[in-house]
Amino acid sequence: LTLSNGNNRLPTGTLVNFIGNSTLDVGATSQAVTNITVGDNLTGTVNGSGGTLILNGNNFYLGGVNENVGQTLSASGLSTFIYNNPGYNVSVGPSSSSPGTGDGTVTLAATTLITAASFGAANRGHNDAWEQSAAYGTVYLGQVNTLNATTIQVVYSNTRTKDYGTVRFSNGLTGPSLKIRGTGGTDIDRADITIGYAGAGSAYNYGSGLLDLTTGVTSSMLDARVGTLTLGNLVSNNGGSGAAGT
């Protein structure tokens, strides 16, 4: 679907649901929608040179609910992506209701502004009854990224899970930047960041989080105001496997 000849050619209450491997091209327009969903084992693509996509709904969650499935959203061909919902959450990776491995991958636009209560990769704590499968959440940042969220979690793993989360820049960028603030977005607003958390309750529980702002890029920049930074926190009860944060 290609949009042209003015902004908001779709109703601003539209839910974009990718039920096949397909593309929404906003062109050079600005389009607001309530949310985006992607079907299991599918890739949704959003393009738009000079264009802007705005999510004005509630929580934005992307990741498979069922075992051994994934959901992928690519906005690398979009100029600007805006999520401005300070009372809601952004999460990429397995659903909290997932019975097993359900992965999520998002590639953000060249310029991205996210304002949310929380932001995370593999942080919804899916519950795996078999206590052995792994689930992944991956976010690829664009050229210019502003992340305003009071809570940032790269893997927050609950009982009976093995979760892996990564937030990094897309390969090949020169001078990419990431600015982090609390939800308010000012310099006095701090974000609490957790990278790699594994909760108590199972010997199989494991969480590994990675925030990588150097691999595959040149001269990256980070401007962050942080309240509490936690790396590799294992809450031991039944002898969880471990937690790693980098």
pLDDT in tens, 89-142: 999 987 655 555 678 999 999 999 999 999 998 777 655 554 456 778 899 999
Burial of 206 (0-12, 13-18, 19+ CB in 10 A): buried
**What per-residue confidence (pLDDT) applies to 202?**
47
SS3 151: strand
Strands 30-33 and 69-92: unpaired
Averaged over 81-90, what is the pLDDT? 96
Rounded to 10 degrees, what is the CA torsion of 208, 213, 216, 217? 170
Closest CA to 139 of 77, 197, 72, 89: 72
**Percent of the chain residues topping a pLDDT of 70:** 81
Burial of 193 (0-12, 13-18, 19+ CB in 10 A): buried
| Average pLDDT over all residues of the chain | 86
What is the C-alpha separation between 206 and 20, in angstroms, rounded? Answer: 33
End-to-end CA distance of the chain: 40
- Write down the residue that tokens 């977005």 correspond to: 185
SS3 10: coil
**In contact, 224 and 179? CB cutoff 8 Å:** yes
Out of 161-165, 196-200, 231-235, give the one with best mean pLDDT. 161-165
Strands 60-62 and 102-107: unpaired
What is the C-alpha separation between 98 and 77, in angstroms, rounded? Answer: 30
**What per-residue confidence (pLDDT) applies to 137?**
87
Q: Evaluate if residue 206 carries a pLDDT over 80.
A: no
List the structure tokens of 175: 């001078």
pLDDT per position as a tens digit, 42-71: 999 999 999 999 999 899 999 877 777 889
Going 185 to 90 to 191 to 154, the CA torsion angle's sign is: negative
**Percent of the chain residues topping a pLDDT of 90:** 65
Averaged over 239-244, what is the pLDDT? 55
